Amino acid sequence: FRFSCIGIRGAVFRFASKLMLVAGAMSAVCVTHVMFVFLRHDGHWKSRRSTLASALGTLGLIFYTSVTVLILQPFQCRQHPNGRWTVAAYQDVLCWPSSNDDYDEHSAM
């Protein structure tokens, strides 16, 4: 995803925003469930709890592989001809930067 319209282009922001998409999807399911139970079942939460658990479990299974790959991306480094290592998915992020670098995006990920 590219968020160039808001001007924030840092690798940490891009990484965190991809993780937040999954959290947003889970939150949307919860909000939809709460509204559905309140409007359709007169707020009988206890009897509808298994439906929410099933929906969140299914969503978790759907996103499991992609979230695992996303979380492991900062650990996949590639060496360049100049001898420096960068994160394979984020070419502008140095792996194990020297102490001279001002901001360590790799550790922030």
pLDDT tens track, the chain, 109 positions? 555 566 566 888 888 888 899 899 999 999 999 999 999 988 888 888 899 999 999 999 999 999 999 999 888 989 988 888 888 888 888 887 666 655 667 667 6
CA distances from 96 to 16, 17, 102 (A): 20, 23, 13
Six token digits for residue 43 = 């707020």
Tell me which residue has tokens 């001898």. 83
Tell me which residue has tokens 């990484």. 15
The partner residues of 85 in beta bridges, in order of sequence, read 79
Alpha helix positions (H), the chain: 11-40, 45-72, 105-108
